[in-house]
Amino acid sequence: MQINPSGAQMADKVEASSTPKEQAKKKDESQPSRKPQPSSIDVARKAGVSQSAVSRAFTEGASVSKKTRDKVMAAAKELGYQPSILPRILVTHRSHLVAIVIGGMYNPYYAQIFELFTRKFQEEGLQVLVFFVDHNEYFDDAIPLIMRYRVDGIISSLAILSKEAAEECAHMKIPVVLFNGKRQNIWVSSVCCDNIEGGRQVAKLLFDRGCSRFAYIAGSETLANTDRQAGYVGRLKELGIDDVIIEQGDFHYEGGYAAARRLLQRSERPDAIFCANDLTAIGAMECARSQFGLDIPNDLMIVGFDDATFSKWESFDLTTVRQNGPEMVDAALALLQERWREGRDAPGKLRLVPGTLVERATTTKKS
């Protein structure tokens, strides 16, 4: 099919002959009409009550009879009315909004944690605003934007808050809870897995399994990585093992693969590797099998940390330290609620949640 140029030109001329006002009118007429949203006045008329009664019916803890509340709710449902959040903020000084700042979603474990936070907060009548920053980067630049929403609190996961930004949040009376993060000052709270104890449990397990050459594949420079390494190395030292090889990873699959290659190229390669997280451990396993033809666990034992969903898969069946996600999320919410009750300028707190060593096939030798 060929386009008729003359026809196109004629259409252009006709369109050009219309005035801008006529063109705008035609455009408006072509758009579907939108019904105005019902207001609290509409609900009041429908329910046969005052506008203030409608406001009280939608305000938690306000004085209103059950009969009136039921009438208001029935009218609101019929009209499709939803109250604006802004008046409630002005009256109660509470937005019921919590900002979650996430430093990347590369690790499936933290995707699970994000879902737990969202579900838990919604159960408590809180709504979540999500802000993404790069992994382990400062989110100071996001603070002014977060404050525009008048959030009641901030949860940070895999993102870093500087001391100056933490002090600014304290000045604005916005409580901050770090999830597996390092506290910068007394005004910031933190909930962490007991990473040191987790590392100690891994060391004892591998020692009891008869391993003699130990290695650790580290993650990037975070509190979680530092504590896991310290617990592992410290417990091995107590057991008489002074030489532990440390290879640098980055909490990613590729970093684990590359670090394992460097470890296994050694003339005396390790027979036990503890990895900073499960993603690193999976990378190390793939390298050991595909590049060196090693049998896991008979030639090499590998342990991760997190207990991400994929660690249970048959092809991995990874021994790991389970972070108790639901308990940690509950603890983070409790820390926020304590600050709301005790006053937002109250000092922050630290909550440690024990991890659980979960032994699977990567440390159980085949007979």
Q: Please, where in the chain does CATH 1.10.260.40 lie? A: 40-83
**80-84, 186-190, 225-229, 240-244: which range is least confident on average?**
80-84
Residue ranges in 143-222 assigned as alpha helix (H):
143-148, 163-171, 195-208
What was the pLDDT predicted at 107?
83
More confident residue, 184 or 15: 184
State both tokens at 295: 């049998």
Q: Which of 31-40, 42-51, 135-144, 197-206 has the highest mean pLDDT?
A: 197-206
Reply yes or no on whether the pLDDT at 24 is more than 60. no
For 175, the 3-state DSSP assignment is coil
Which band of pLDDT confidence, cut at 50, 70 and 90, is reported for residue 334? very high
How many alpha carbons lie under 13 Å from residue 165 in its C-beta half-sphere? Answer: 18
Share of residues in the chain with pLDDT > 90 (%): 55
**60-74, 298-312, 320-334: which range is least confident on average?**
60-74
State both tokens at 276: 């900073």
Q: Please, where in the chain does CATH 3.40.50.2300 lie? A: 92-194+325-354, 195-323+357-363
Reply yes or no on whether the pLDDT at 237 is more than 50. yes
Q: For all residues of the chain together, what is the average pLDDT? A: 86
State both tokens at 310: 């994929």
Please give the average per-residue pLDDT across 298-317, as a whole number: 95
What was the pLDDT predicted at 13?
43
d(CA 187, CA 166): 7
What was the pLDDT predicted at 160?
81
Please give the average per-residue pLDDT across 22-48, as a whole number: 70
Reply yes or no on whether the pLDDT at 8 is more than 50. no
Reply yes or no on whether the pLDDT at 226 is more than 90. yes
Entry field: residues in the chain: 367
Reply yes or no on whether the pLDDT at 337 is more than 60. yes
pTM for this model (two decimals): 0.76
More confident residue, 10 or 236: 236
Which band of pLDDT confidence, cut at 50, 70 and 90, is reported for residue 341? confident
d(CA 172, CA 146): 12
Which band of pLDDT confidence, cut at 50, 70 and 90, is reported for residue 282? very high
For 190, the 3-state DSSP assignment is strand
For 152, the 3-state DSSP assignment is coil
Contact of 129 with 98, CB cutoff 8 Å: yes
Query: At 274, which amino acid appears?
Result: F
What CATH superfamily classification does 195-323+357-363 receive?
Response regulator (3.40.50.2300)
Q: Cβ atoms within 10 A of the Cβ of 26, count?
A: 11
91-129 tens-digit pLDDT:
556 778 999 998 877 788 888 999 999 999 999 989 999
State both tokens at 152: 């009641």
Which band of pLDDT confidence, cut at 50, 70 and 90, is reported for residue 163? confident
d(CA 361, CA 318): 6
What was the pLDDT predicted at 15?
46
Which band of pLDDT confidence, cut at 50, 70 and 90, is reported for residue 274? very high
Please give the average per-residue pLDDT across 309-318, as a whole number: 94
More confident residue, 10 or 170: 170
Which CATH number does 40-83 carry? 1.10.260.40
**17-31, 32-46, 271-285: which range is least confident on average?**
17-31
State both tokens at 69: 């509340």
Q: Cβ atoms within 10 A of the Cβ of 245, count?
A: 16
Which band of pLDDT confidence, cut at 50, 70 and 90, is reported for residue 3? very low
Please give the average per-residue pLDDT across 168-187, as a whole number: 85
What was the pLDDT predicted at 1?
40
Which band of pLDDT confidence, cut at 50, 70 and 90, is reported for residue 136? low
Which band of pLDDT confidence, cut at 50, 70 and 90, is reported for residue 140? confident
Which CATH number does 92-194+325-354 carry? 3.40.50.2300
Beta-carbon contacts of residue 7 (< 8 Å; ≥ 6 apart):
none
